[in-house]
Amino acid sequence: MAYPLLGIQEIDEQHKALVENLQQLQAWRSKGHGYSAALNAFLSLGQYVQSHFRDEEAFMERHDFPELEEHKIHHQQLVTKLQTIEQHVMSGDDITDEMMALLSQWLIEHIGGDDMKIATYLRSVASPA
């Protein structure tokens, strides 16, 4: 899965790990490793997403990112979606293609849109006009 790099090593490394977690979930699911393996991969992804969001929000706060509150709302929207998916999975439902597509699409759009704004902001404050 291709995703844009921000040029912020700390965040880019976490995005790489997020994508790797998502790919692991897709691999477990597609290889038929069963419910337990897919559930563990999904729960691991969810935990990593929340940890990443905390780190990313702290980074934005340290750098006085002006759109922090809006960014937090977008993070919470994904957390809510993940919690809904988790409820389905915990009740025995399979992680469907639609759920995987949602996560993949959200990650790419969020990194390429919302997160790219962080990089743009940092470049603008680093080089005064």
Which tens digit of pLDDT belongs to each residue from 61-119? 999 999 999 999 999 998 998 888 888 877 877 666 666 777 788 788 888 889 999 99
- The confidence score (pLDDT) of residue 75 equals 92
Q: How far apart are CA 29 and CA 97, in angstroms?
A: 10
pTM of the entire predicted model: 0.81
- Per-residue pLDDT tens for 22-34? 887 777 767 766 6
Top-tier CATH class for 9-126: mainly alpha
3-state secondary structure of 4: coil
| CA angle, 17 then 55 then 119, to 5° | 80
